[in-house]
Each structure stands twice: as structure tokens, then as C-alpha cells.
Amino acid sequence: MIKGIINSTESFGSVDGPGVRYLFFMQGCRMRCRYCHNPETWNCSLQEDGLELTPEEAFEKAWRFKNYWKRNGGITVSGGEALLQMEFVTELFRIAKKHNVHTALDTSGEPFPEEEKDREQFDRLMEVTDLFILDLKEINDERHRALTGHSNKNILAMASYLSEHGKDMWIRHVLVPEVTDSEEDLKELGSFVSTLKSVKRFEILPYHSLGVPKYEKLGIPYTLEDTVTPSKSEIARAEELLGTNNYKGYLND
């Protein structure tokens, strides 16, 4: 029996996909992003306040809120890293599509297999996912490794693969002053995104330090202690370098 290990849920999400969303935050992530605001999701095991549900049970929890979704709402699965529980997410989305529910996957893409022969499970998930919300954290591979502990090569390959298959994407980039805001890298990231044919939105998420108390509670060192939230002018500069205004949104949300 397939079961998903879920850290938490949210009934009325409004930013992780179009419309009003029911959100599942899955447990487990391989990356260790220096600015991660959900370090409690890193561990792959069931946590004290977490949930272990079958896809059917998870869908029933979400379906109770269907009246709030209107025309363009639905279900978003986030994390942690949802691709680590790909079989569960695929089955949850398969059930959702039987009920004509819009499905969105919020992912950093790291588990995406580089070898095409290993993509059978991902292809099944792709078939039942309406929107991929992909976090592109850093275009330079060396700096990506320093920021997250992992290469970005398979992540960029996933973005290209989704584009080749015409899957709708929102691209997100967390702007961290003096970490992910170099002119060279922002231009290169914007250039890469411009090669993708199915991007509907490209947006900056300003760095914030709201997750710091979680690090203190978990006893995890926080390495960006002196980093501040980017100013409006810094965000505007990054948007210009990235070319985010070329992407106009999705489903009238």
C-alpha cells in the first residue's frame, strides 16, 4: 500500500499555484539550502506532528475544501522535496484528475534522474501534473553546490525536459543579497529561462529570515545570520536582469 509521509497541510494556500489551493508539505529533502525556511522537513521519517496517509486519504482531506477552489484552484504538493515520494504524489494526482482537480507540484527538482532510462516514474507523474513550480536557486553549478550541497545539472535538465514536453511551469528564484544576486549569474539564469518554451511565470522570492527560530529549535547552525532582506531597488534590479516581466502569469490568477 502506498503511503505518503507528510509534514503538514494548509487549507487555503494562495501563492503556490493559481487560485485557492490545498497544500501538502511532504517530508524529506536531500538538499540543505542555506536559507531554507522549512528545515523541519529535511528528515525523511515521520515526525511527531506529521501525517502518514494513503493517496485516497490525502485526496479526501483536500476534497472537503473543493467549494473554495472555484474555477482555477486545486491541490499543490510541496515540501521538503515532493519528488522523493513520487509514487505517492503520482497516485494522489491521478485521483485528483479523475475529479477534474487542477494539480501543481512545487519542487526544487534535485531527485530528477539524469538518465532517460530512469524517467519512467517521472513521466507518469508528469502526465497527471498540470503545473510545475520549479525553484532555480543558482545557475552556476559550483555556487549551487556551495548553496545547497548538490549540483544543479539534473535540475536544469528537468526544466528543459518539462519544456520539451510542453508542461506549464512557474520558475522561482530566491534573491539572497551577496549570495544569489550577482549580475553575471542573474543574466545567465534569465538567458536559460528564455530557452524554455512553457514558462508562464518567472518571479523573485525575496530572502527572509523567518525560519531562523526553527534552526535554533533543531540545533542546526544558521549560516546567513547577518544577511538582510533585499530592498525594493535590489529586487527591481534583479527582475530587470532576469527579464521576469516577459512572463505574464497563468490562468488569470
pLDDT tens, position by position, 44-71: 888 888 899 999 999 999 999 999 998 8
pLDDT on residue 48: 83
Residue 250 pLDDT class (50, 70, 90 cuts): low
pLDDT (tens digit per residue) in 21-40: 999 999 999 999 999 999 99
Place of cell 518539462: 162
What is the pLDDT at residue 191?
97
- Position 166 confidence tier, pLDDT thresholds 50, 70, 90: very high
pLDDT, mean of residues 156-164? 97
Give the pLDDT score at 249: 62
State the pLDDT at residue 75: 98
User: In the structure, what pLDDT confidence band is assigned to residue 251 with cuts at 50, 70 and 90?
Assistant: very low
What pLDDT was estimated at residue 252?
46
**CB-based burial of residue 234 (10 Å sphere; 0-12 exposed, 13-18 middle, 19+ buried)?**
middle
Percentage, residues of the chain above pLDDT 90: 87
How confident is the model over 116-159, as pLDDT tens digits?
888 999 999 999 999 999 999 999 999 999 999 999 999 999 99
pLDDT of residue 19: 94
Q: Dmax of the chain from CA atoms?
A: 51
pLDDT at position 195? 97
Report the 10 Å Cβ neighbour count for 52.
Answer: 11
H helix or E strand, kind and range, residue 233: helix 232-242
CA-to-CA separations, 187 to 3, 199, 200, 237, in angstroms, rounded: 42, 17, 19, 11
- Which pTM value belongs to this model? 0.94
CB 138 within 8 A of CB 172: no
Would you state the pLDDT for residue 117? 81
171-175, 181-185, 212-216, 232-236: the lowest-pLDDT one = 212-216
pLDDT at 208: 92
% of the chain with per-residue pLDDT over 70: 98
- The per-residue pLDDT for 105 is 98
Q: Kindly report the average pLDDT of the chain as a whole number.
A: 94
Alpha carbon separation from 145 to 70, 177, 221 (Å, rounded): 41, 17, 18
pLDDT single digits (tens) 90-125: 999 999 999 999 999 999 999 998 888 889 999 999
